[in-house]
Amino acid sequence: MRYLKTPFCCFLLAAMILGTTVCALAQDETSTEISGFYQGYRNFDYRTGYGEEVDIRKAEMNGGGFGIAQNLASWFALWTQFSFLGTTESPYLSVRIINNLQGLRYQTPQYGPFRFYGKGGIGFTNYSINLAGQSGGETKLSVGYGGGAQLWMADYLGLFVEGTHIVMGVPQISEYDDRDKWDSGLSLTTGIAVRF
């Protein structure tokens, strides 16, 4: 019986997403948002197992990206975003990250120019790594949830700010047991959105 637990939970999650999407499609208020943003990722912590000279501890990474959201109703949207974060380094290791998330966004009705939302999603993180002159890359699972606020200055143009907690798998570059398998950090984002 316990072997059926995971498939059943996946089925329930898929049914919930499909049911919410079908309800949202019945609404009249659909629109598309395209956004560009600046993003800072805090507390990137990567213990490789090779020791402190190679490890990256509590680094901050900054970059930018773009996103698309399809508002299927005034209260619901599907979204995706790509973030391109800069390089962080230790004496022997440098890491560059591309993060993608997509998921669901639940939002309030627009109060004057303001709209507030909560969102969650799943995606991937691609790492470009240089370890002591050897280059490589790896792609890992990424999960995020958070919330934010939009300020619509006109029907088609707005600003937004959001905070997202992101959990990312990190590459295995050593066989040591004391290496990190996951990183958990806070992403702070601000940007501009166009709605049509």
| Domains of the chain in sequence order | 29-195 (2.40.160.20)
Name 107's Cβ contacts closer than 8 Å, sequence gap at least 6: 71, 74, 75, 76, 77, 115, 116, 117, 118
The pTM of the whole model exceeds 0.85: no
Q: How confident is the model at residue 149, as a pLDDT?
A: 98
Q: How confident is the model at residue 55, as a pLDDT?
A: 87
Q: How confident is the model at residue 14, as a pLDDT?
A: 67
CB 98 within 8 A of CB 71: no
Burial (CB count <10 Å: 0-12, 13-18, 19+), residue 121 = buried
For 61, the token pair is 């990474």
| C-alpha closest to that of 144 among 39, 49, 24, 59 | 39
Burial (CB count <10 Å: 0-12, 13-18, 19+), residue 21 = middle
Q: What span, in angstroms and rounded, lies between the C-alpha atoms of 124 and 161?
A: 22
153-189 burial: b if 16+ Cβ within 10 Å, else e: eeeeebebebebebebbbbebeeeeebbeebebebbb
Q: Decide the pairing of beta strands 114-131 and 157-169.
A: unpaired
CB 11 within 8 A of CB 171: no
Q: How confident is the model at residue 8, as a pLDDT?
A: 66
Beta bridge partners of 136: 129
- Tens-level pLDDT at each residue, the chain (196 residues): 444 455 665 666 666 666 665 555 545 678 999 999 999 999 898 888 888 888 888 889 999 999 999 999 889 999 999 999 989 888 889 999 999 999 999 999 888 999 999 999 999 999 999 988 888 899 999 999 999 999 999 989 999 999 999 999 998 888 887 788 899 999 999 999 999 9
Q: How confident is the model at residue 62, as a pLDDT?
A: 95
Q: What span, in angstroms and rounded, lies between the C-alpha atoms of 105 and 70?
A: 10
Q: Give me the phi and psi of 20, to 5 degrees please.
A: -65, -40
